[in-house]
Structure 1
Amino acid sequence: MSIQWFPGHMNAARRNAAEAMEKVDIVIEVLDARLPQASCNPMIEQLRKHRQRPCLKLLNKSDLADPVATKAWLDFYNAQKNVHAVALSCKKPSDVLKVPKLALQLAPHRGSALKPLRMMIMGIPNVGKSTLMNALLKKRVAAVGDEPAVTKTQQRLYLGNDMVLIDTPGMLWPKIAHPTDGLMLAASHAVGTNALIEEEVATFLADNLLVHYGRLLSARYSFATEGCDGVSVIEAIAVRRGFRIKGGELDLEKAAHVLLQDYRTGALGRISLETPTTRAALLAAYQEHISLGEAAAALEAEEKEQEQGRSRS
């Protein structure tokens, strides 16, 4: 299943962000620590690099992510030019207090009443931007909800006399190149429910968990995972929880929803869906696929040319 979700307001949000980018000093990009690169919007990267703006990457929900994977991601991002990355939870006031100081380090020439530090907060839907805004300003200035794309308009707010915050709506991008990225985003609730089938997303998640976190599945649902695949995990959850529909058949839809919710809330444990290593393998496989496609196209063109030559002779 290939998941695509790009509501109309996101297109307007992209145009507004491009215009505002010219007048900001740094970009604060909020990522999901459980899938940092899959939750990194390439449009945001393109906009900030075009304007040569430094970026503070906040790996939010780090309390839900595998700490070993998070450490690897921090090393990965902190090796990049004009990027500083930190792991935190926007729900922890002590973590949020660090953000203004970290932002100021990326633009030390700003941060006074005459030259306030202008920060643009960006990220995909439901990643925690609004929670961050409310925590920084210590009041509710942005709507927070469990559904993605709650914020739909840009806001300009002041953090004291020396800092300005520009909050942008959550933005995905028009075409998600890698199907697994779409599934990871769906599992983490970054796309609307109308763009996905929960059973398929939960099956993908279960397959991933079987490879890397089988013990957490066993601990949560009390069944052995040996010999299981994603589908049988959903079935086993339905059996263990007694989820059945009229006629006695297993209620796989309800079981799928339970698995997704347990992952999203952290009830399953601290889980990361990708690491720099798995990301590199994904990109390598994708490039290989493209190369094979190009080779096939070239071969087809060559055969067509030879056939035309034979017909002319």
Structure 2
Amino acid sequence: MNINWFPGHMKKTRELLQKNLKLVDIVYELIDSRIPLSSRNPEIDKIVQNKPRIVIMNKSDLSNSNINKEWVEYFSKLGVNTVLVDAIKNKGVSQIISETNNLVKEKKEKLLSRGIKNKPIRAMIVGIPNVGKSTLINSLAGRKSAKTGDRPGVTKGKQWIKLKGNIELLDTPGILWPKFEEQEVALNLAFTGAIKDEIMDIETLALKLIEKLMVLASNSIEKRYDVMIEGKTSLQVMDDIGIRRGCILRKKEIDYARVANIVLDEFRDGTIGDISLETPKKI
């Protein structure tokens, strides 16, 4: 599959980040716990540079808990402050507030020495599309402040939102980057829904995902779909899933579009299992 995705609004978002960085004290970089490297936008490193930053690994409930710990340790060795979060269930959200206060402590003390009290901490949140940004913002705010959706592209423009802990947050639309250097990165983004399905061949995408899960989570595939994978190709497994789920067209042909939607949806919502597609051991 040849995947490239860089619409015009993402160019505008990059310019927006660069323009507004000087307005904030800290940056929240939101990534997907299932694909920590693939969901880290290299453009953000260039834009943020030395600004204090917290990497927030969202959707940690959908990824392998042991591998999550490995990633936290990996980022810690790089000197990156990292927090594991499940924004939907509000897990890890309070840790973001405490880490924020730790990172801007020196600046707050300087303001106090000048007699400036209770000045809000200003933060900016950045990340790829469909990584749960709006859901996290609502958890941080303690109310519904940002639009949410399970599809990329819900946040359209910048907005300031008041959070708990005397923090003001600048929300920005999700941003991908102009070119995917590695096809595996592009596939991981597509598997997790960061790239719109409308521009994808979802049948081939699902076949690629099955192929990957046969290596990383064979037991989960077998248990969820009541199939055997030993000695079979990914296409044969996809056929078996189609038969088990009754995805049959006339003339007894497999309805691959239906199978694809089932597999992609059930991977993305964690029904197949808590699965990490990337581990730090491969780096």
Q: Do they fold alike, i.e. is TM over 0.5?
A: yes
User: Which amino acid is 1:102 matched to?
Assistant: E
Give the number of aligned pairs.
276
- How far apart are the structure 2 equivalents of 1:192 and 1:250? 24
Unaligned 5+ residue runs, structure 1?
Answer: 281-313
User: Which amino acid is 1:252 matched to?
Assistant: Y
2:105 aligned with 1:108, yes or no? Answer: yes
- How far apart are the structure 2 equivalents of 1:178 and 1:170? 20
2:200 aligned with 1:185, yes or no? Answer: no
In the TM superposition, residue 171 of structure 1 has moved relative to its aligned partner by 0.5
Q: 2:259 aligns to what?
A: 255
1:237-272 Cα shifts (integer Å, max 9, x gaps): 101111112332111111111111110011111100
User: Which amino acid is 1:5 matched to?
Assistant: W
SS at match of 1:103: helix
- How far apart are the structure 2 equivalents of 1:220 and 1:246? 26
SS at match of 1:119: strand
1:154-203 Cα shifts (integer Å, max 9, x gaps): 11122368321111101001111111111111110011122211111111
Q: 1:131 aligns to what?
A: 135
Q: 2:156 aligns to what?
A: 152
- How far apart are the structure 2 equivalents of 1:77 and 1:12? 29
Out of 121-130 and 102-111, give the one that drifted further: 102-111
Native 8 Å contact 2:61 2:86 kept in 1: yes
Native 8 Å contact 1:4 1:195 kept in 2: no
Instruction: Pick closer, same or farther for the CA change 1:124–1:252 going to 2, 3 Å.
Output: same
In the TM superposition, residue 113 of structure 1 has moved relative to its aligned partner by 4.4
TM superposition score normalised by structure 2? 0.93
SS at match of 1:90: coil
In the TM superposition, residue 92 of structure 1 has moved relative to its aligned partner by 2.1
Unaligned 5+ residue runs, structure 2?
Answer: 109-115
Native 8 Å contact 2:142 2:163 kept in 1: no
User: Which amino acid is 1:243 matched to?
Assistant: C
User: Which amino acid is 2:35 matched to?
Assistant: L
Native 8 Å contact 1:65 1:271 kept in 2: yes
Percent identity, aligned pairs only?
Answer: 36
| Aligned counterpart in structure 2 of residue 240 of structure 1, from 230, 233, 244 | 244
Q: 2:113 aligns to what?
A: none
2:204 aligned with 1:200, yes or no? Answer: yes
User: Which amino acid is 1:142 matched to?
Assistant: A
SS at match of 2:92: helix
Q: 2:48 aligns to what?
A: 48
1:285-304 Cα shifts (integer Å, max 9, x gaps): xxxxxxxxxxxxxxxxxxxx
TM superposition score normalised by structure 1? 0.84
SS at match of 2:6: coil
SS at match of 1:73: helix
SS at match of 2:227: coil
| Aligned counterpart in structure 1 of residue 81 of structure 2, from 78, 81, 84 | 84
- How far apart are the structure 2 equivalents of 1:198 and 1:171? 22
Q: Could you say what the CA RMSD is over the residues aligned between the two structures, in angstroms? A: 1.5
Q: 2:171 aligns to what?
A: 167
Q: 1:28 aligns to what?
A: 28
2:6 aligned with 1:2, yes or no? Answer: no
